[in-house]
Every structure is written in C-alpha cells, then in structure tokens.
C-alpha cells in the first residue's frame, strides 16, 4: 500500500498546485494536506512504529486507517467544491479523527508491550497524532461555536501543518538523512528527546497565537526554530558533501528542512495583525512548495525501493534508488526557489513547484517500470 500512497500523494500535490489558480485556495490546500499528506503519513507511521518499538509488523487490518483518512479528506475537498455538501467538512473531520485516534491507541499499545524504551522518534509521532486530533476537533467545535469559527480554522491550520505534518517530518528527517548518507548519527536519539518540548511548545504557541493572540506566535516561532536549526547545523557538519551533491535524496531532505523553518517563520510573522495586512505573505504555500514537495520526493527516493521489495537489500535496490535520486540536487534548488516565491505571493512559484514535481513523477515512473522489468527477469 505504501508505494500506492506515495504516488497518490505526489499526484494530489501536483493537481492541487495546478488547480489552485482555478479553485479556492482552501480546497487546493486540503487536497494537498487531507488527501495527499495525511493518508501517506498514516501509512508511513504504520510501517515505522513497529520498527521504533522493536515489535512485529503492523497487522493487515491496520491498512484501513489510511483509507479511512483518505475518505475523510475526500469528503472535505468535495465540501469545498459543492455547496450542497457542507456536511462533508464535519463528516470528513470525524472520519479522520477516528483514524488518528485508532492509530494513536495502537501506537500506545505497541509501546506498552515492548521490552525496554522505544526510539524517541515514537514520541514525536504520538505528539503529531495528538496535534492532528486537536486540529480536527477544532473544526468540529466550529460547527457548534460559529462565532469562533475563523479563529478555530486558524488553530486547525497551524496544528495541522506545524503540529501533525511538521512534528512527523522533523522526527523522520533526523533519522532518515543519516540512513541516506550511510553514516549513522549516535546523537539522533538524545537530540530528539531534548528537542521535542521545544517543538511542541512552539507549535501550541503559534497555533493559539494565530487564533487569538498574535504576539504569542512570535514566541512560538522562535521556540519552533530551535530543533530544525540544531538539526541543520549538525547536518552541515556531518553530511555537507552529500547535501551539496547534484544527485541523491540528501539535498532534497535538506531543502525540506529549510522550507519547514522558513514557512514556520512566515507563519509567525503572518499571525501579527500588522503583518497580516500584507497579502503577499503566504506561509501555507511556502510550506507546501518549499517543504512538503522536497520532503515527500526525497523520502520516496530513499524508501520506495524498500517498500516495493522488503527484505535483504542488494543491487536492485541500489539501482532503483540511484535512478530515483538522479538530479535530486537540482530539484532541491528548484523547490527552494518555488517555496520562496510562493511564500511571498508570487503565483509562478506554485507553477514551478508543480512542474518540478511532475518531472520527478515521470522520472520515478520510468525508473519503477525499468526496475519491475529487471525484477521479473531475476527471481533473486
């Protein structure tokens, strides 16, 4: 299921970026986050949580959770497109919060049943799921508390982006880049454990500040910046050669970290009423083009071979990984430019991000077909 969720997410991202100029920005943003990112993150968590807890693989029944999340996201997007489907927003939020709650409960059970302590990455995943649940409950609360609906929507947006997607990504990036470069970092676990309080506090302050009291968002943005700045400094010290390379996933993952930090700062600035009058500041689109696009394409370059053919890694995996990562450095630069432009209100930034992503989709499709042909000819 995970490879299918990857291609679904990438397709949804490209479609939303191309669609954003013809439809409401809210509909396009929910297509990216609710239809593309949320089911993919649920699927990835289902894969990684057993690894983090050193327990058996997820049961096949757990595959229903990404599907449930996808159905909820589709309902929300449909509600934006069809005036007669206003019920789709609370219904979709209810489906998604049910899936998030079930995944959180399953994670806690795996934690309780394991020997020893889990990897600190699990704490980030559970905090991310809690943020998502709170974000979805905010939408449900807006139905019965309409006078607070605008504030609750802003709360929902930041708990979803910085909280759910951001916390998940930060933990995954910290573990994934050393895997990409082949040089494990013994400081990953202690650093994740130390940085989680900063990230959670920053998320909550930005979210509540954007909803009700703007100055809190500045404090939250400063706190949220601490973990990615520490991580980026560490990466530059240990993995500089891979980060500035023309090929590979490392440049894309580094671009994603920079995009996450930049969009968080834009979000904090935009939460201040005086700054919000400048409509050119678009933190949500900086988040999408500068962070989500390089993150998912970079992670896919590294993880798709493993998800397609689990087990012992050999030449087939290396060839496919090399094909997927070809010109990753060039794509990273284009995504940084796209995110910077989109975040400052330039429409061509979204188009540049979409075109770059579509080129990667074509490249990945060709590489995948070639890899499957090789696999069919070689039973080993």
pLDDT band, residue 274 (cuts 50/70/90): low
Measured CA to CA, the distance from residue 201 to residue 197 in angstroms comes to 6
- Global pTM? 0.92
Cα radius of gyration rounded to whole Å, the chain: 20
pLDDT in tens, 305-354: 988 888 777 888 889 999 999 999 999 999 999 999 998 888 899 999 99
Percent of the chain with pLDDT over 70: 95
Q: What single-letter DSSP state applies at residue 119?
A: P
| CA–CA distance, 273 with 147 (Å, rounded to integer) | 19
Could you give the 3-state DSSP secondary structure of residue 106? helix
pLDDT for 221 equals: 87
Residue range 122-135: mean pLDDT, rounded: 96
How far apart CA 256 and CA 259 sit, in angstroms, is 5
Tens digits of per-residue pLDDT, 185-200? Answer: 889 999 999 999 999 9
Choice between 103 and 282, residue whose per-residue pLDDT is larger:
103
Confidence at 223, pLDDT banded by 50, 70, 90: very high
The pLDDT confidence band at residue 27, using thresholds 50, 70 and 90, is confident
Does pLDDT of 23 surpass 60?
no
Compute CA distances 330 → 15, 242, 249, 251, 310, whole Å. Answer: 22, 13, 11, 8, 29
């Amino acid at each position: 299921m995970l490879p299918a969720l990857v291609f679904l997410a990438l397709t949804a991202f490209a479609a939303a970026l191309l669609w954003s100029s013809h439809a409401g920005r809210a509909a396009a943003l929910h297509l990216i986050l609710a239809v593309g990112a949320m089911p993919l993150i649920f699927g990835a968590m289902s894969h990684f949580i057993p690894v983090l807890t050193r327990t058996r693989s997820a049961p096949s029944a757990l595959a229903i959770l990404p599907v449930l999340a996808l159905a909820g996201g589709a309902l929300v997007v449909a509600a934006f497109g069809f005036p007669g489907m206003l019920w789709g927003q609370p219904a979709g939020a209810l489906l998604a919060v049910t899936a998030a709650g079930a995944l959180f409960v399953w994670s806690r059970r795996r934690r309780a049943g394991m020997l020893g302590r889990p990897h600190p990455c699990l704490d980030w995943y559970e905090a991310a799921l809690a943020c998502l649940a709170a974000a979805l409950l905010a939408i449900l609360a807006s139905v019965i508390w309409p006078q607070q609906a605008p504030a609750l929507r802003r709360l929902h947006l930041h708990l979803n982006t910085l909280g759910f997607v951001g916390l998940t990504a930060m933990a995954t990036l910290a573990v994934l880049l050393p895997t990409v470069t082949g040089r494990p970092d013994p400081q990953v676990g202690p650093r994740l454990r130390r940085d989680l309080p900063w990230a959670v506090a920053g998320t909550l302050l930005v979210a509540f500040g954007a909803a009700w009291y703007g100055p809190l968002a500045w404090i939250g943005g400063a706190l949220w910046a601490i973990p990615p700045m520490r991580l980026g400094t560490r990466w530059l010290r240990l993995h500089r050669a891979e980060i500035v390379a023309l090929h590979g996933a490392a440049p894309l993952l580094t671009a994603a970290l920079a995009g996450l930090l930049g969009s968080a700062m834009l979000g904090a600035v935009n939460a201040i009423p005086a700054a919000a009058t400048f409509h050119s500041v678009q933190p949500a689109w900086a988040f999408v083009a500068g962070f989500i696009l390089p993150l998912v394409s970079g992670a896919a370059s590294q993880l798709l071979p493993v998800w397609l053919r689990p087990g012992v890694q050999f030449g087939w995996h290396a060839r496919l990984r090399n094909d997927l990562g070809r010109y990753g450095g060039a794509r990273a630069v284009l995504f940084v430019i796209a995110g910077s432009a989109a975040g400052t209100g330039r429409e061509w930034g979204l188009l540049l991000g979409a075109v770059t992503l579509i080129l990667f989709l074509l490249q990945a499709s060709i590489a995948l077909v070639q890899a499957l042909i090789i696999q069919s000819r070689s039973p080993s």
